[in-house]
Structure formats: C-alpha cells, structure tokens
Structure 1
Amino acid sequence: MALVFRWLIRIVSGLLVLGVIGVAMVYYLASQSLPDYDATHETRGITEPVEIVRNNANIPHIFGRNDSDVFFGLGYAHAQDRLWQMIMMRRTVQGRLSEVFGSRTLKVDELMRRLDLYRLAQKAVPEQDKDTLAALEAYASGVNAYLSRINADALGRGAPEFFVFSNEISPWRPADSIAVLKLMGVQLSGQIEDEVLRARVSLSLPEGRVEDLLPNMPGSGVAALPDYAALMQNTPSRFASLRNRSIRPDFWPSPRRGLSGASNAWAAAPDRSAAGASLLANDPHLGLTAPTLWYLARLELSTGGVIGGTIPGMPIMMVGRSDEFAWGVTSSYLDDQDLFIEELNPDAPGEVRTADGFAPLKSRSTIINVKDQAPVTIGLQWSENGPILPGDMYDLATVTPPGHVAALSWTLLTDRDRSMSAGIRIMRATAITEGLAAGVDFTAPSLNLIMVDRNQIAMKVVGAMPKRHRLNQTKGRMPSLGWVAENRWDGLVPYSTNPEFLQPKGGIVGNTNNKVIERAFPRHMSYDWGDSQRVQRWTRLMQARAVHTRDSFIEAQLDTVSVTARTLLPLVGADLWFTGEAAMEGTQERARQRALTLLANWNGEMNEHMPEPLIYSAWMRALQNRLIRDELGPLAQEFPHVEPLFIERVFRDIKGAGIWCDVIQSAPKETCTDVARAALDDALLWLNENARGEQESLRWGDYHIATQDHPVLGKIPFLKYFVNIRQSTSGGDNTLLRGRTSGTGQNPFLNVHGAGYRGVYDLSDPDSSLFVISTGQSGHPLSRHYDDLGELWRRGEYTPMSLDPELARAAAVGITRLTPKPN
C-alpha cells in the first residue's frame, strides 16, 4: 500500500511539473511576440529616419521628415500592436476565414465573395489621388517591414493567436486598406435588416398595425406602406414569414437590427464657447470587442500634426484634431441599400425579368478553401440591380416568393470608390471649407461629418445617395420588384444636395443618429433612424447653458439620464402608482408596491449602482413581449430591444394602437393597465430568479456589464478569463452615455455596443483636448497595455494627447527608431 501511495505521489508530482513546464512554455512562446518599443532597427522602405515615440499609455507619436515615412511608421506601429486584428479583418473581407476556422465561417466567406468587396477594392486602388496612393504604399511597406522583422527575429509569429491558428500571412497591399474601409461599411449597414423585417411584419399583421411597431420617425409624413403580399403578386401564405430567426455564424460582419453603427457628436461655435473658440465632442459607437477597433495615434505630417483615432489597417485618422481643425463622425443612417425581388425565367433559370424582357444573369465561380475539408465551389450571380443573395442570408427566403431571387443594390458595391482619398484629405484639412470640399469623394459608408475650425462649425452628410424615382413602389422601405423601371436607381444624387449645416444660428450643431432633415421622398435621406430619444436629452443639455466649456461637453458625453424612462414610466404606470391598500410583506402585491415606490422616486438616471434601472428595464422588456408575442408569435424575437415609440403609441392609443393590449387568444378584453401590471409581475419574477437580494440592493451594473470579448480566444474555456474584459457600466439603450444591451440570452442587459472611442477637443487650447478608448492600445493579452485605458473609459475619464513634440518625448516610455537600410 505504501508503494502504491509513493507512486501516486510521484505521478501527481510529475504531472504538476509537466503542467508548470507546459504553462511556462506557452507563456514564453506567447511573450516572444510582445514588441520591444525601445529599440533601433534598420529597414527598407523609408528614405529618412523615423521615430515612433510612445507615451505611458502606449500611444505612438510618429515623426518623419516626409509624409511617406510617417505613414510607414503608422503601418509599423499598427502591425506591432494589432497584427491579428488586421489580418482577421482582411481575411473577412476577402472571404477567406474558412481557411483558418473551418466550416463554421463558410457562410461569412460566401457572403463576402457574393458582395465581391475585395475585388472592388483592388480595382479602386488606381482611382485614388497621388497623395493617397503614396500613403497606401508607404503604410503597406511599414506593415510588411514589421512582418519581415517577425520572420527574421523569430518574434513569436507576431501575435499569440497565430500559434493557435498558424496559417501563412501574406504581405499587406494597398488594396487591403481600401478593403478594410469597405468592411467598415458592412459593419455600419442596417438597411437590409430593416427592409426584410418590415416586409415580414407586413405579412403578419393587419393593415395599419405595421406603423405601430415600426413607426416612421415623428414628422416624416410618410404615406402608408403598400401591401407586401399583393405587391409581390402572391398571398401571405406563400411566404415563410413566421420562420424562426436564422442562426448567424461566427464573425458575421453585418449587425443585427438595433446594433448597427451609432454615435454622438456635437460642436459649439466660438460665440457659444466660454473660451471664445470652437468645441467638439465625439464618441463613435460600435460593437465592443477586445481589443477595441480604435487605436490612438499622432502623425506629424507636412500639413501639420494630427492626433486622434485610427483604425488598424488604414493609413487615415478617422476622427481627431490638428491645431486649427477638428472633426468627428456619426453614422448618418442614409438609406444607401435597396433589395430587389427578381423573377426567374421558368424556361431558363439563369435569366431574370427586366423592363425589356428576360436577360441573363452575369455569373462566375469562386473556390473557398476550408480547413480540414475539401474546397467548396460556389456560383456567383449578378442582375442589373446587383449581386444575387441566397435565401438563407438575412432571412431573405421569408420575403422572396417562389420562382424569384433577391438582389442587392448598394452604393458600397463600386470600384470607383475614392473614400480613402477623401479620408486623407479630411485628415490634412486646416479649415471647414477644405473638409467640405474633401467630402465630395466619400462614397461609403455614409457618415455625418462634424467639423470645427477656430471660427466656424459645420455638419455635412458625406457618402453617395441613390437617386430614386418618385413613383418607387416601396420607397426603399421594403424589397421591391426588380423589373419595374420606377423601382430602379437612376444614378446618384449630387453631393451638393447632401444635408449641410454651416455656422447654424444657434451656434450649436450635433447628431445622436437622429433624423437630421425633413424632405419629401425621393429627396429624403431615410425612413429609418438610429435615435429618437437621446437627441431629446442632448437638446436640453445644450440649451441649458448660454456658453459651453470642454467640461460641459464631457458632462454631456457621460450623461446617463434616460428620457425614455422619464416618458414611459408615467404612461405605463399611470393607473398603478400608489393604488390599492397596503399589502403584507412577502406577497406579490407588496413586491409590486415596493418596485413602484422605487420607480416613482427615480429621476431616470441609469447609474450602475442603482436598482431602479434594472427594475425599469426588466419591466419594459416584459411589457413589450406581452404586447407583441400573441400577434407576432416567433417573429417577436426579431424585436429584442424595447421600442419606445411603439410603447408610447400603445399607451397613448394613437390611431387605435391601444388594441395591442388585448390578448387575442383570451376571452376577456384586457386593458393596457392589466398588461402593465402583469408585465411588472413578469419582471419581478425574472428578478427573483436571476438576481440576488432585495429590490433595494440590486445593482444595474451587475447586469449591464460591458462585454469586451476577444472574438476568437474569448470563446475558449479557461483562456476566456484572461482575454475577455468585463466591466460594470452605467448608461443604457437610450442615454447619451450609450451602452446598447444585447437583448438576448440569459442576461439580456449585457452592454455589447458602445463608445469604443471618446474625444473632446477645445480649439482655444488644443493641447487640453482629451481622448480615451475602451480597452488598451495593444491587442496582445500579455501586454500591460491590453486593457489599461479600459478602466479610465469605464470611470468616464480620459487621457491627454499633445501635439507638442517636446512633451511627447519628455513623457516617452519607449522610442522605436527606424533607419533606412543601405541597399
């Protein structure tokens, strides 16, 4: 027995030793790819020495004697810190993820091949102006110089992820950067989802009720939607309109409805600024990841220094400032996509109906290589309206009648895309007039460009706007018949007609993804907008002060008051507040009274430390589910977020919308008060099952957790605890400090979409401007800069970034010196 015991000890000890050795080896190999920021290297691709001066937040300040060398330095710095992220974005847009991840990303590759974005990016390279071509070439050389260093010095393949997924890394090319910008367009698009959903709801609801659930933005004055089934010359029974939501594969590039691009940006003219110079605040919103998409940098160009947020993979500063000029962006929600239903020729499936009869589809084949499996060949097809998309993408089968296919028209799908050149010119601008002129070349994604110089402020919608016929059958709100001439695009609207706000009388301009202009179709921008709530709070904060300061802009950027809560609670609880007799402790009535008492004394602040935001959010979620579930059935899951305008219409009984409160399947006629009370009980039951403690001790932040997860390693057991960044956060779906909830899963209140970047610029003292990103600069999980800025971001704090070279050098924690390598 003693012998057995001794051998057991030896075996266990041996396994522990092997485990420790294994962990040490993994750590050693992974740490090899940590960059050395304080080094000197000879490299080809530059003509003069380049310095990359990094401050204590790992923000690179890049100095060179000419612009090409500076862009080379930016490419080098991006590759040092975000190589995995860059390669994954490139693989996504190329449709080559399956070479790494196998069949689970095959549908993503198929989508990107059908959109053909990478080929379009390659063809767009010669369309760029001379300065942009030089920047693209130099940037690519910088990336490739670091790739060469990885190979020459055995730097752990450049990132720890490449030990797990060890595919070859091809050199970076100028087309790759343009492709990354096109990928941003995919990630900011939401019109396809909206068109399909509106058609599906139209097939499921009686006439007049679609507008309740998917209302036009107030003031739009839109005519009623056409009957979709009749438009498609079919009956509702011919469509699978109630089919369950399709499951999206990993890395699906376009967002679910409600999770497309968002943002805040606002500016104050000198006469509305306490210091007498323009102010600008900007916080673009995207899906939260680790690392964040954004990367802070400073470039010393021949036109002057610029500093702000870049996106790894591109040689442009998307948002930021110089000494004389600052700019920010928000998603414009311009309707630049239309779906067309194409009728197949029953006698020749490769043909579709056109206004002049049947015409053949353009077609070619493409091969997708799949890890550990045989290659997959798919046939690509295009009609005159655009690429044909199969029915299992975007749930298109649910709105496509038999004998038809769906095609997509999109301004992004062009090889004459000069958006990169526009971005370079905006970055070099020194005045608003130059920024406005640069916007003419911007194609997609469409953005609101908010600009300030020392004397003026402006906002301009940039991006190509389709020219639609006034007799378009659906006005772009639902799929339309592809062979009807009036439905097709007739080129693009001139850039000069894009909405523009230059030096407004009130001295304030801004956007929260709200509707920006009231124009009748077809001169309108969109029927779908990203916000009808935050803008109300923003307007009040801007009007509350005669003059603004940098600090008042920060206060607005971090504001957590929900106008939605302040509006909906008095409506929904009108007949519930303090009604009935006191109830005994432990009863359902007592729990309801306690919740109502808390909410009655609440000011709508979505603070992470308070219980009221959680109770309110659970109540509204349960309420909407009760209102729509019996009418929509499984289709109700397509509305995972509370629709404030819908609930307000129901409880104000606008155009008879109060009918939603009556449960169709029940004999009694329920009132809205009945539904509100039952929904509150549902919410309290959910809280009892999922929350710990009394109502008064609940914390919104325990559920509204920012999920900044690594897209790949974050799903692997054990590793996810090291690479995922989770933080308790304030804010919510409809606050200026926006933290969009997931709306699904065991915890539907996870914060999954928010401001990955925040910047506030004061041109009276430019070096007092502040910046922050939501994680850290490095994409390496072992780096101390992987999440060091994330805590500042969570607390609503910022880091300064100066254009003073001496300040940058004085605070340097490392200087990478690149010198030309002799031929």
Structure 2
Amino acid sequence: MNTLAIANVIAKFKKRPLLFGGVLFVLLLPVVFHFIFWGLVGIKSPKYSGTIKHPFLTSKVSIYRDSAGIPHIEGGDAKSSYFALGYTMAQDRLFQMELQRRVGKGELTELFGEALLESDKFLKTLLLKKTAEDYVNEKSHLYPEAWEQLDYFLAGANAFVDEGVYPIEFTILGVKPKPFTRVDAVAFLFYMGFSFAEGIKSDSLFTILESQVSGRIVSELFPRYDLEDGNVTIIESQPGIPSLSKADIFKAVERPVSSSGQSQSSEDLVRSLSHALDAISSLYFPVEPLEGSNSWLIGPSRSASGGAILANDPHIALSNPGTWYEAHIKFPGYENYGYFLSLIPFPLIAHNKEKAWGLTMLEQDDVNLYAETVEAGKVLSKGKWIDLESYVDELRFKDGKTEKFIVKSTPHGPLFTDHIKGYDGRPISLYWTHHHMKNPLLDVLYKMGKSNTYSELDAASALIAAPGLNFSYADSKGNIAYYSVGKFPILKSGNPRKILEGSTGENDVIGYVPSEQNPKLINPKNGIIVTANNKVTSGKIPGLISVEGNWQPADRFIRITSVLGRQEKWTLEELAGLQTDTFSSFAPYYLDVALPHLERVKSENGKRALAILKKWDFHHFTESEGAAIYDVFYYFTLKNALKDELGEKNFLLYGEIAEYWNAYRGLIKNPNSLFWDDITTVGVTETQGDIFVKSFEDSVTYLETHVSKSPSLWKWKSLYKIKHPHPLGVVPLIGGLFNIGPMPAPGGAEVINNLKYKLMKEDWTATSGPSKRRVIDYGRFNESVTQLPIGNSGNLGSPYYGNLVNDYNQGKHRKINFSSESYSNGMLMVMEPSM
C-alpha cells in the first residue's frame, strides 16, 4: 500500500472515529513492531571496542577486528588469550553455541518444544553425552594443558553470559543461557564426527529394496565401482601431465557384493526398517555434521611462486550462522589463524607461517547395523545370553518438566530403534567406532595446533578413532602430504553394508587397521595431491577384504585432477578460481549417450531445448540455459528409470544418500539394465532411449510450468538458488529476518563449487556447500586468501552479520590478514586484569 492509498483510507474513515482508530492501529502496527524489534536488536548488539577488566585475566589482551569482522587476538599468555577467544566467540555466536550444546546432549526440546522430541531421543541414543562424560571424567588426559585451555575458553564465554545481554533469539524463545561446561563442548565435538545419514540410511535401504524389488538386480543401485587402473582413488589417481583422458574416466566394472553375515530379511524386519528409516529421515537438527569437501596440494615444483600451496573447502549444510568461526590467536609460543567450531578453543583447520592443514571427509564405513535378539533385558550375543547395558539420562521439556530416558546397549552398540515412535520390529543396534575405542578429539586438536612438522601432525591426528578424515598438509619448507585418519573396522566375514545378524558373532568387528597402515602420500613426484571424498585406494589394506566406504561420486575429483594436469605451474589466483568452478564432469559423457536418442523429441519447445543443450558448455553459471535443462533432464531420467520399481517413498529416501550418483553412471553405461523398463506399462518393454525421450519431454513440461513458457528464459538462476537458513527462519512474520537468501548463485551438485540441492524432492534450493574456501601459498604467504559464506557473526545486530554473502556468491576471495600491520588499524577491544 503506497502513501497516497494510505491517505485515502484515513480520509475515508475520519468521519467514523472508532472505526478510524481501529484502521489506524492496524496500519501502524507493523511500524510499531518494526521499531520495537530493531530497537531490541540494537540494544543486544555486540560491542567491539573499549576496555574490559576481569579478575580472571592475568595479562593484557588486544582484540582487533579487521574490516571483515575477523578477530585477531594478541595476548600475553595462554590463559588470558583463550579467555578472550571464548568471550569474543560468545559475542558473535552465543545462540549458535546454545544450539550446539543442545544438539550434543539431546536437549533441543527444552528450547523449541516437543516438535523436536524425536530428534532429542535419537541424539541421546547416540550416547554423545555419555561418551563425553566418560572422556571428561578420565583420571588423566593425554595433554592436561588442553583441558586447562578449554577451561580458560569457557570462562571467557561464561563471562559474556554473566553480562546478561543476549541476542534477540533468546528473547523470542523466552530462555536464558546457562554456563557452558566441558561436557557441552566435547559432546558437540563428538556429534560433528557422526555422519549418520549415509551409514544408517544406506544399509537400511539396501536391505529394504532387496526384499521389496523383484525382477531387478538391486545391487545396481548400491554399486561397488572401481574404475579400471584405479583412476578415481586418492592414492592411485593423482594428476600428472598430461591429464586423464575422457575415455579412461568412466570405465567402470562392478565388483560382487558379499552377502555373508547379513540378517535374514523377514517381512516384519523390512516393514519395521522402512518405518524406522522414515522416522530418521524426518528428524530435524539445527546443526549438521560434516558432509564432504575438496582439497588439493601443490608442491613447489608445480607452484608459480615456488612455495607449497594448500587449497581446501569443506562442505557442510548451509546455515545461519555458518559452521566456522574465523579467528586469529597468538601469544608467546603459539600462533594460529584458524576456523573454529564455536564451542571449541582449538581450530579444526588452521595455518601459520610454518604450516597449514585442511580437511575432507574420508567416508570410510565405520557404522554398521545389527538385527538383535532381545528377551527380558538380555541380548543373544555369539550364541549366549548376556545382560543389556543401560545409560540413564533425562528428557527436558520447555515447561520445566523432565522425563527419565534409558538407552540400552548391546555389545555392538545402542539399540537405536528402542525410541523410534511406532517401531515394533526386531531391535536394531548401531555399531559406531566411536563407541568402541578411545577417541581423544580435544587432545588431538590441541596437539595439532602445536605441531611443527608433518610427522608431528600425523602422529597427533593418528589418535582419532572417528570420524574418518583426509588431512591435507603444506608447509613453508615445501613439503606437501596427505594422511587418512580414523579407524577402518575389520569385520569377521567382510562388510556387505546391509543389516547384519547380531546374535551369532559371525559378522562382528574383530579389530581395526593399525593407524600406521592407513593410506598416505608424502611429497609425491608429480607434485600434486587431490582429495574429494572419493575412494581412498584401489589397493589392499591389510586385514580388509575390500576397502569399504560411503564414497562420494568421482565427479569433483575427476574435474580437479583433469584441470590440474593441464599445466605445469599454478598461481594462487588460478587455484582460487578453481574453487568456484562449475563444470559438470559427467555431463559430456552422459549427453554423448543421450543426445542421439533425443532427436526423436517432437514438441516445439523440446526441439528448442535440445538446440540449447547441444551448445551448452557444461558449466553452471547463473545465466546458463543449458544447466537448467541438463539438471532437470538428469532428474527426470533418474525418476523415470527408478521410481516405478522403488515407489514414491523409497525413491525419496534413495535421494538422501550418495549411491544414486554412483548408480546413475552404471545405468547410463548399461542400456540393457532392467531398470530402464517401466513396470507400470503392461505389455511394453521400454528401452534406455525411450526413457531418455520421455524424460526430456517431461523436463520441457516442468520448465514450462515452473520457469517460463519460453526456453530462452530457462536460466539457471531462474530455477536454482542458495539459502542460509536460520533455526528461527520458520517462525511466522519474523522468520525471514533471520534467513539469508534464497539468492541466485553459480554452482550445482557434484561440481567443484558443490552447492547441492534435494534432487529427488524437486527442490532446487542448495542445502549444503563449501563452508569456507581458502588458499594458502607459502611462496606468497601474505597474499593468501579465504572466504566465509555469509559473515563471522551470528548476532543480528552486528555489522558482520551477512556482510560477506555477496563475495561468496560471486566467488570473490579476500586476503587473509595475518601480519599485525594488516589488521592493527581495525576496531580494538582491550581486556585487562582487574585489581
């Protein structure tokens, strides 16, 4: 309603005072709300300058904020410096810290209400809180100073909590934060190591489909693909010159899947598993664990600067606030510029003048599911009845009430189906390596930050039991190195990656691959190391029948290695540009197979779309027309090939695991697969070409309906968006104030700029992607660059809230301010001991 319209309404009702007053109130209410809301936000905004005195401090600390909002902490000792880091993080991320501790301990219901009760039950069943308590309460720790520094950090965060000025989210939810504890921090750290989406969903769905889908080879949907000559494994496939040829890239051979040790899939078990999988897929977590990532290392022989280079971009669910808190901390004997989880004082990813490291997910399979036999508080284990173990916790409700909660465990792990509402089948236990081995993650992070060489970093990281990680390392001496860390379980009868029989012991874990036998690469002759969550090795690892994992598709690895193999020397700028590359490495192969069949397309817009697709350069830029047509066509081909066999529900569930990307390559390569036939058309046997034609026509209709009647307007930006959702983003009226986006941006699924969407749900809004981008060049150290997706602060009143989102969307890196000269003119807060 414009100003003139409002004036006319007021004039019309002036002669009727009561009605006029009511209308005026309605008109002014949004204005009043606006001023009240933003007034509160302003009152609660963080103060980034001035002097703070506190009795905990033992030395002066200076906190400089650079123009991007990154804090640079310079202290006189560790105690005061970590106190300042905790205080600073709480200023910017207090609500996120509250969410993180509640996720780790399963206490979301107390904050959001009973809508998240099932999520809390699942989180508690993972025993994150229990294992955190056990770890915190150990009589001795590897590095006692790590725990002292955690306490310093928590003291700083709690000092901010004591000030009582909390961000607006606490006012909306009607809660106040309590002091943060060691268990809060460690429980969340353990949560970030659990990638349950792949392990539970993949094993369960394989078992379900194998029972329900007849007349088809279900293992085609859960492929064991090794490429000939190991062309997509980390150890065997690093790029040289020239690059891999396209002909080599997609030669896949299927490996047989062992069935030994799996549970007999009775009708009741399959029905119950289906219910459990539905329940797990519907859970909501306001903080998501690590997901994927790209990383590559360039040795001095391949670097234009003559120094070693590290490029890394971890992939995590997009959110507001973002996953990483970027900060620079130094005191006598210590300095790191790092990317922190907001409850943890030690960076997971960091660099300084001597060394840099990055992470990607290893994706090895360290999660198994066992069908258990339970009676009267006992479980049948290796043919003998033994007592179930119990851990007693409590559920907390928003009204202050509590409820006793008991997690029962078998020798394999907790019975995660016990607390799935409506589940009435055979109990299923969750085996996770974290529950069976010491996993001193806090000590490891502390030691990593203090390591001086790649052998020291390797020794520290080798203590990690879970999660599986790929470490990429570069240093000022020109070394580059890759380490896989985390445990590879050894199963007695091999790993079929289905539901396993729990009563006999025939498929139990009988040991783990020693850390020193995990795959590694150190200073390879080709001068390049790439990881992208693809298979770690096609070779043998002692003790394993085969190296199993929830490997992500090879697309990103293939693209990175292909590009890096094109020239001998690489600059920092070229490598930063590669991080935002949007080329689909599978598209050329896929379209070579599909395009000849699409000449049969008869609709006018279908012919126009085909002409666009033939000219497409395989990139996913915002203005691209071919990208929109290709991705929708990709989806409908998959849908028309599989949905008739899987059904609506299982088709959607299948879209939540990485296997469909891998399986799709096999389907495209195999025109004789029975999945091409549509079982709903009785008496007709469809060919691969028939499905291509139908899928393309379906794609045209979809784009006409959802984008435009004119193919010339089928731009990628008109279909595809990215969004950084806030946990309060669903709240009526005000939710949109917290979300950032949706916004058009270049990127897509399984391109290097891996901003992934929910394909099977026809939702083209990216839900995960690079959680930060960074390139460290030891030949040009002070010119190294980085990106954060939205900004460093999660406080709506901060000038650093969402301030970096445009740079991220545009792929624009900013220089890392490492030297004191580069940030010392920034906003300054001083902390001093009080008398």
Question: 1:288-367 maps to which residues of 2 (within 5 A)?
Answer: 288-345=318-375, 348=376, 350-367=377-394
Counterpart for residue 52 of structure 1: 63
State the alpha-carbon separation in 2 of the partners of residues 17 and 205 from structure 1.
60
SS in 2 for 1:267: strand
- Among 483, 498, 511, which residue is 1:460 paired with? 483
Kindly tell me: are residues 71 and 112 of structure 1, through their superposed partners in 2, closer, same or farther at Cα, counting changes over 3 Å?
same
Q: CA deviation at 1:720?
A: 2.5
Counterpart for residue 249 of structure 2: none
Question: Is residue 216–residue 675 contact of structure 2 (8 Å, CA) maintained in 1?
Answer: no
Counterpart for residue 500 of structure 2: 480
Q: CA deviation at 1:12?
A: 3.0
Question: 1:222-233 maps to which residues of 2 (within 5 A)?
Answer: 224-225=256-257, 231-233=262-264
Kindly tell me: are residues 196 and 439 of structure 1, through their superposed partners in 2, closer, same or farther at Cα, counting changes over 3 Å?
same
- Among 118, 133, 136, which residue is 1:122 paired with? 133
Cα RMSD between the aligned structures?
A: 2.6
Amino acid paired to 1:682: D
Kindly tell me: are residues 743 and 175 of structure 1, through their superposed partners in 2, closer, same or farther at Cα, counting changes over 3 Å?
same
SS in 2 for 1:750: strand
Counterpart for residue 9 of structure 1: 20
Counterpart for residue 448 of structure 2: 426
Question: 1:357-506 maps to which residues of 2 (within 5 A)?
Answer: 357-372=384-399, 375-390=402-417, 393=420, 402=425, 404-413=426-435, 416-454=438-476, 455-469=478-492, 471-472=493-494, 475=495, 477-506=497-526
Q: For residues 93-136 of structure 1, what are the alpha-carbon distances to aligned partners after superposition, in whole Å with 9 as ceiling and x for unaligned?
A: 11111112121111111112222212211221243412311221
Q: For residues 317-359 of structure 1, what are the alpha-carbon distances to aligned partners after superposition, in whole Å with 9 as ceiling and x for unaligned?
A: 12121001111000110211111111123xx3x1111114111
Q: CA deviation at 1:751?
A: 0.9
Gaps spanning 5+ residues in structure 2: where?
A: 1-11, 231-252
Counterpart for residue 673 of structure 1: 689
Matched, 1:614 2:628: yes
Matched, 1:817 2:834: no
SS in 1 for 2:427: strand
Q: CA deviation at 1:25?
A: 2.6
Q: For residues 681-719 of structure 1, what are the alpha-carbon distances to aligned partners after superposition, in whole Å with 9 as ceiling and x for unaligned?
A: 1111111111125112222122221110112x2101222
State the alpha-carbon separation in 2 of the partners of residues 119 and 791 from structure 1.
42
Matched, 1:697 2:727: no
Question: Is residue 39–residue 817 contact of structure 1 (8 Å, CA) maintained in 2?
Answer: yes
Q: For residues 589-635 of structure 1, what are the alpha-carbon distances to aligned partners after superposition, in whole Å with 9 as ceiling and x for unaligned?
A: 22211111111111211111111111111111111111111211232
Q: CA deviation at 1:660?
A: 2.6
Counterpart for residue 583 of structure 1: none
Deviates more, 1:747-756 or 1:283-292: 747-756
Kindly tell me: are residues 731 and 311 of structure 1, through their superposed partners in 2, closer, same or farther at Cα, counting changes over 3 Å?
same
Deviates more, 1:265-274 or 1:488-497: 488-497
State the alpha-carbon separation in 2 of the partners of residues 500 and 197 from structure 1.
33
Q: CA deviation at 1:494?
A: 1.6
Counterpart for residue 302 of structure 2: 272
Q: For residues 124-167 of structure 1, what are the alpha-carbon distances to aligned partners after superposition, in whole Å with 9 as ceiling and x for unaligned?
A: 12434123112211111110111122x3xxx2xx1100001122
Counterpart for residue 174 of structure 2: 166
Deviates more, 1:372-381 or 1:722-731: 372-381
Q: For residues 767-791 of structure 1, what are the alpha-carbon distances to aligned partners after superposition, in whole Å with 9 as ceiling and x for unaligned?
A: 1111111011111223331111111
Matched, 1:262 2:292: yes
Kindly tell me: are residues 283 and 2 of structure 1, through their superposed partners in 2, closer, same or farther at Cα, counting changes over 3 Å?
closer
SS in 1 for 2:807: helix
Kindly tell me: are residues 3 and 753 of structure 1, through their superposed partners in 2, closer, same or farther at Cα, counting changes over 3 Å?
closer
State the alpha-carbon separation in 2 of the partners of residues 13 and 559 from structure 1.
53
Amino acid paired to 1:284: P
Q: CA deviation at 1:372?
A: 3.8
Deviates more, 1:190-199 or 1:364-373: 364-373
Matched, 1:516 2:536: yes
SS in 1 for 2:257: coil
Question: Is residue 636–residue 695 contact of structure 2 (8 Å, CA) maintained in 1?
Answer: yes
Counterpart for residue 197 of structure 1: 205
Amino acid paired to 1:512: A
Question: Is residue 188–residue 331 contact of structure 1 (8 Å, CA) maintained in 2?
Answer: no
Matched, 1:70 2:84: no
* Count of residue correspondences: 788
Q: For residues 477-508 of structure 1, what are the alpha-carbon distances to aligned partners after superposition, in whole Å with 9 as ceiling and x for unaligned?
A: 11211123231122432210111111112110
Deviates more, 1:757-766 or 1:111-120: 111-120
Q: CA deviation at 1:204?
A: 2.4
SS in 1 for 2:84: helix
Counterpart for residue 570 of structure 1: 592
Q: For residues 415-436 of structure 1, what are the alpha-carbon distances to aligned partners after superposition, in whole Å with 9 as ceiling and x for unaligned?
A: 8321111112222223212211
Q: CA deviation at 1:558?
A: 1.2
SS in 2 for 1:598: helix
Kindly tell me: are residues 509 and 774 of structure 1, through their superposed partners in 2, closer, same or farther at Cα, counting changes over 3 Å?
same
**TM-score calculated relative to the size of structure 2:** 0.89
Question: Is residue 295–residue 532 contact of structure 2 (8 Å, CA) maintained in 1?
Answer: yes
Deviates more, 1:713-722 or 1:642-651: 642-651
Q: CA deviation at 1:245?
A: 3.5
Deviates more, 1:460-469 or 1:731-740: 460-469
Kindly tell me: are residues 572 and 245 of structure 1, through their superposed partners in 2, closer, same or farther at Cα, counting changes over 3 Å?
farther
Counterpart for residue 701 of structure 2: 685
SS in 2 for 1:573: helix
Q: For residues 544-596 of structure 1, what are the alpha-carbon distances to aligned partners after superposition, in whole Å with 9 as ceiling and x for unaligned?
A: 1101111121122111110121121121222224x58xxxxxxx522211111
Question: Is residue 44–residue 797 contact of structure 2 (8 Å, CA) maintained in 1?
Answer: no
SS in 2 for 1:490: strand
Question: Is residue 110–residue 397 contact of structure 2 (8 Å, CA) maintained in 1?
Answer: yes
State the alpha-carbon separation in 2 of the partners of residues 702 and 250 from structure 1.
30
Counterpart for residue 819 of structure 2: 804
State the alpha-carbon separation in 1 of the partners of residues 653 and 621 from structure 2.
28
Deviates more, 1:205-214 or 1:460-469: 205-214
Kindly tell me: are residues 648 and 484 of structure 1, through their superposed partners in 2, closer, same or farther at Cα, counting changes over 3 Å?
same
Kindly tell me: are residues 525 and 168 of structure 1, through their superposed partners in 2, closer, same or farther at Cα, counting changes over 3 Å?
farther
Counterpart for residue 270 of structure 2: 239
State the alpha-carbon separation in 1 of the partners of residues 413 and 527 from structure 2.
43
State the alpha-carbon separation in 1 of the partners of residues 13 and 188 from structure 2.
65
Question: Is residue 322–residue 430 contact of structure 1 (8 Å, CA) maintained in 2?
Answer: no
- Among 147, 153, 162, which residue is 1:133 paired with? 147
Counterpart for residue 103 of structure 1: 114
Kindly tell me: are residues 20 and 383 of structure 1, through their superposed partners in 2, closer, same or farther at Cα, counting changes over 3 Å?
same
Question: Is residue 217–residue 532 contact of structure 1 (8 Å, CA) maintained in 2?
Answer: no
SS in 2 for 1:563: coil
State the alpha-carbon separation in 2 of the partners of residues 787 and 254 from structure 1.
18
Question: Is residue 99–residue 287 contact of structure 2 (8 Å, CA) maintained in 1?
Answer: no
Counterpart for residue 37 of structure 1: 48
Amino acid paired to 1:297: A
Counterpart for residue 239 of structure 2: none
State the alpha-carbon separation in 2 of the partners of residues 486 and 253 from structure 1.
38
State the alpha-carbon separation in 1 of the partners of residues 200 and 13 from structure 2.
72
